[in-house]
Amino acid sequence: MRGLLSAFIALTLAAPAAPRTAMGGVWLFPRSAEFPGLRMLRLSRDAGGWRGSVTTDWYGDVPMRALAVTGGTAHFLIDNGNPRLPPRPWTATIDGTRLRVTGDIWERHVESALRRGTATDATRLAFPRAPLPAPVTLAADGLAPTPPMGWSSWNRFAAAIDDATVRAIADHLVSSGLRDAGYRYVNIDDGWQGTRSADGAIRANARFPNMPALAAYVHTRGLKLGLYSSPGPKTCAGFTGSYGHVEQDARTFAAWGVDYLKYDLCSGEGIFRTAAEVRLAYQQMGQALRATGRPIVYSLCQYGRDRVGTWGSGVGGHLWRTTGDIADNYAAMAAIGFDKDGDAATAGPGGWNDPDMLEIGNGGMSEDEYRTHMTLWAMLAAPLMLGNDVRTMSPATIALLESRGVIAIDQDPLGRQARRIRKDGDAEIWARPLADGSVALALFNRGTTARDIGFTLQDAGLARIARLVDVWAGVPDSPTRRTWEIPGHGAMLLRLTRAP
């Protein structure tokens, strides 16, 4: 979950925090433009001295280096994620009940593009310890036999989403033909939550006056409704999370008619201290959703840590994020799609690697770059969740999103994720076996200028080719052709039928 939100995430719950020194503890950052993607700071002191780390969306827990604490001030260095750039100096100072932090923070995924942070406050997290379940392995339930397809609100609307917008999005998914192309889920991300009633039941905020009625509206259009929550007390945007109410929230979601849940770690990072606890927190919701008896697709969002593909299905998940959040620029999309695509061996029918939502149509990339985006996600057997405003799509955007040949590769029932076969400088060749015995082959140009890229029969794993189709054009080409000119940041997608 990303966001440039100004609200502080103040988590002050009933039980007192354990005794600590003035600076010690877990501190939660607000969402701010000065520190994008920054979540949490931890400081603790033991017999060996002070230790600390900073948690970011993009790099997880980053240890503090050269940490020195004097009184109420800490000085330390933080790596910016680029090995060619030096660590950046930060300072944290107690300021009343908050920790005032200054320093440099990096722009996500863009090498050497540092954003100077001015100052921001972190609020100390205090929490009671809610029980976690004993570890179990949940059996497959038959949901998500192919990667889920639909729309999600966050990339375009962030937390500024409401009932009327969701209804209009549902209408346009139908009228544009995208529903019939396979985009069936209408997912409300962060920002729908209100407070809890006296009995603890979660309520939607005033922008969503009747969630069951909204679900019914979506269902009557042949679509399904998704919601968002967190295993922590607060979501990434500072709304009410499911901590301490997991089973109760699952029952509420089912009663409302929800068909999909994205579960974002967010403030849970300050509560679940070990990888094992995080797994159990996700298992708890997985069990709770199963117990409702309603089929609900379960999306795990813990940023690809702890080899999530090896245990995601076992806690009830049907898809799991492999990375931090995407952004609407080629560098961010390419860094995720090419380099943080998850372990192909752990994905397949019922459980998918999720490189995050699509940015196509949001305006930050060229048509060639968006074609690469869609091609890469289809080759990865990735969930296809639209992140744009479908009410204002251009014909070019619709053509990219509803290409039946590309979608057929993404939704191929064999469910085998593509692998990088060969890399030659900026040229990459990826291959994916398909259920009918054919092969999807993608030629990518990661450079900025056009170049010829060719493949061999060995790249495709075929002895002979009977038929070669240019998938984006939707037309066959000569089965003997091997080379194409690919524009900068562009892609060619081929479907190759093996000869008998």
Query: Would you please indicate which residues are annotated as catalytic (active-site) residues?
Result: 264, 325
Contact 138, 316 (CB under 8 A): yes
Residues near 110 by beta carbon (within 8 Å), at least 6 away in sequence: 329, 331, 332
Distance from C-alpha of 319 to C-alpha of 300, rounded to nearest angstrom: 6
For residue 175, the surrounding DSSP H or E stretch is helix 163-175
Return the number of other C-beta atoms located less than 10 Å from residue 357's C-beta. 25
| Integer Rg of the chain from CA | 23
CA distances from 497 to 277, 398, 484 (A): 47, 28, 18
Could you give the dihedral angle defined by the CA atoms of residues 409, 412, 416 and 422, in that order, rounded to the nearest 10 degrees?
-20
- In Å, the largest CA–CA distance within the chain is 77
Residues near 413 by beta carbon (within 8 Å), at least 6 away in sequence: 145, 146, 349, 435
The closest alpha carbon to 299, from 344, 362, 253, belongs to: 253
Distance from C-alpha of 412 to C-alpha of 395, rounded to nearest angstrom: 26
Phi, psi of 246 (to 5 degrees): -60, -55
